[in-house]
Structure 1
């Protein structure tokens, strides 16, 4: 199976901060956010709910998409999230116990 690359958005709640990231191991990276294993923005603001992600086959396309989303206005990101996840469920619950 080919390696996958993920662009993801984390949130605390709908009106809270949003974080856009990229990884090749989504379950591991989300676990690191949830356990505050790596200091930084997400640990400081407790941003640990996976509310959106996209899968890519190559890192160049994934990095390009991450950069694009980071430049987006907050309202555009909220609209993107709500298109697929209107309840802002923590999608990580599907693969992290």
Structure 2
């Protein structure tokens, strides 16, 4: 949960016109490292894809199998990385001002 709160906070700050390039990069790097861990973990995304034939991960909100939760977390991290990278690129091109 703190992972998503971090991303939400900096998206809110971007909305208010504040720009923190080092915080964006730090978040992107940490979240990318965690996403790679989830990708290659023994109960992670590759396990879900190869060993469990990409079983439906949205059948219920209760994650009964570890690869379901890890795959969902991976997807959430990708969304968060894309959001932070988008904010970073937009603000960098506009010198820290909302376009």
Band the TM-score falls in, shorter-chain normalisation = under 0.3
Structure (1/2) with the larger helix percentage: 2
Structure (1/2) with the larger strand percentage: 1
TM-score w.r.t. the length of structure 1 is 0.25
Which structure has the larger Rg over C-alpha atoms?
Answer: 2
